[in-house]
Structure 1
Amino acid sequence: MRLLLTSDTHVPRRARALPGELLTAAGAADAVLHAGDWTDPVALDALAARSARLIGVYGNNDGPGLRARLPEVARAELGGLRFAVVHDTGPARGREQRCAARFPDVDVLVFGHSHIPWDTTAPGGPRLLNPGSPTDRRRQPHPTYMTAEAADGRLRDVTLHRLGPAAEPGRQP
């Protein structure tokens, strides 16, 4: 299964629309996992229209309309792996232990909020993946998203993709 992982799209606050590269990757994926902070249903609808399967959650910047459509935590089995998606996992310090305790029954936890890419494995717990943000890089050098392959109970080819300057707010391709 080809997976696209994204978070913190912040449309239209940080970008007028989702980057074309992200939408193309969504169309090529078997499942898209979005870890919240859409900020507008337009982003949800755009990804849903291009996705074979969309698994998403709401974030702290998502209002009542998005919260009515999305859960706080989503779970799915993909490629023989148990996934959970959540927006915020708290501070970086102690994250692995906190997430292992909160999600003892998952293999992979996708999260967002910080806009900082993250890829670690909690001791005895899940692999933790934060794809960063494709529209609001904050203190990072580039806007980002991730892709991965899930098959036969294994996660392979986890790749962090860097988007160019055209993905940033106010820039035109």
Structure 2
Amino acid sequence: MDLGDQERVTLALISDTHGTLERVLLPWLAEVDVIVHAGDLLDPGELRQLAPKSGHLVVVRGNNDTPGQWPEGTEALLDTLPEQAYLDLPGGRLVVEHGHRVNPARTRHERLRRRHPEARAIVYGHTHRRVIDTDETPWVLNPGAAGRQRAFGGIGFLRLTATVDEWQVEAVTLPKRGRDT
């Protein structure tokens, strides 16, 4: 997707909804230009609920996005999900993949950076743990879980704002509500 000619693009980076997207996030997600889902969707019905301003959704396939875990009859949609996605934004390229094929975990960021040196930032999911690693370029970002399963650190997402001159990333986390987080 090429949005590099825009002055400013705001993205919601989400992952690991596992069919349990937290509905209270929907108003926030509707305020962005693009929603990026870094895999483990499991319920394609959730895509109908995601309505960014531009209508642009980018979804990659996670390790749990398999025919056995998706509802029957949705295989054709599942087959359209790529392993990786590339978005040209103002000021650089964003690369998205689920991250489950980049192991061992202790060297995941290093390996992602070597795999995608052309990126300004790399988004991955899989771990359900939010990470904002902006110490070197490309940045490595994990939005954590936007669903109710294993949302370590709380249910939420990352909001990325990209302009030609500057990228900013902000964590949005729901308040804990007892046993479901």
User: With structure 1 as the length reference, what TM-score do the two structures score?
Assistant: 0.82
Q: CA deviation at 1:162?
A: 1.2
Taking the TM superposition and a 5 Å limit, the aligned residue runs for 1:104-119 are: 104-119=117-132
- Report the identity percentage: 35
Separation in 1 of the partners of 2:165 and 2:82?
Answer: 25
| 2:37 is the counterpart of 1:25 | no
* C-alpha RMSD over aligned residues: 2.3
| 2:175 is the counterpart of 1:164 | yes
Separation in 1 of the partners of 2:178 and 2:27?
Answer: 13
Instruction: Please name the residue that 2:15 is paired with.
Output: 7
Q: CA distance change for structure 1 residues 73 and 167 in 2, over 3 Å: closer, same or farther?
A: farther
- Verify the 8 A CA contact 1:108 1:129 in the aligned structure 2: yes
Instruction: Give the unaligned 5+ runs of structure 2.
Output: 1-8, 68-74
| Greater displacement, 80-89 / 108-117 | 80-89
* Number of equivalent positions: 161
Q: CA distance change for structure 1 residues 102 and 168 in 2, over 3 Å: closer, same or farther?
A: farther
Q: CA deviation at 1:166?
A: 5.6
Instruction: Give the unaligned 5+ runs of structure 1.
Output: none
Separation in 1 of the partners of 2:178 and 2:62?
Answer: 21
SS in 2 for 1:45: helix
Q: CA deviation at 1:33?
A: 1.0
- Verify the 8 A CA contact 2:129 2:153 in the aligned structure 1: no
Q: CA distance change for structure 1 residues 145 and 137 in 2, over 3 Å: closer, same or farther?
A: farther
Instruction: Please name the residue that 2:80 is paired with.
Output: 69
SS in 1 for 2:58: strand
Q: CA distance change for structure 1 residues 139 and 67 in 2, over 3 Å: closer, same or farther?
A: closer
Separation in 2 of the partners of 1:67 and 1:102?
Answer: 25
Q: CA deviation at 1:140?
A: 2.0
Instruction: Please name the residue that 1:41 is paired with.
Output: 44
SS in 2 for 1:164: coil
Instruction: Please name the residue that 1:144 is paired with.
Output: 156
Q: CA deviation at 1:95?
A: 2.0
Q: What one-letter code is carried by the residue in structure 2 that aligns with 1:69? A: T
Q: What one-letter code is carried by the residue in structure 1 that aligns with 2:166? A: R
Instruction: Please name the residue that 1:60 is paired with.
Output: 63
Instruction: Please name the residue that 1:130 is paired with.
Output: 142
Separation in 2 of the partners of 1:167 and 1:31?
Answer: 31
| 2:106 is the counterpart of 1:98 | no
Separation in 1 of the partners of 2:10 and 2:145?
Answer: 19
Q: CA deviation at 1:79?
A: 2.1
SS in 1 for 2:109: helix
Separation in 1 of the partners of 2:97 and 2:178?
Answer: 24
User: With structure 2 as the length reference, what TM-score do the two structures score?
Assistant: 0.79
Q: CA distance change for structure 1 residues 21 and 163 in 2, over 3 Å: closer, same or farther?
A: same
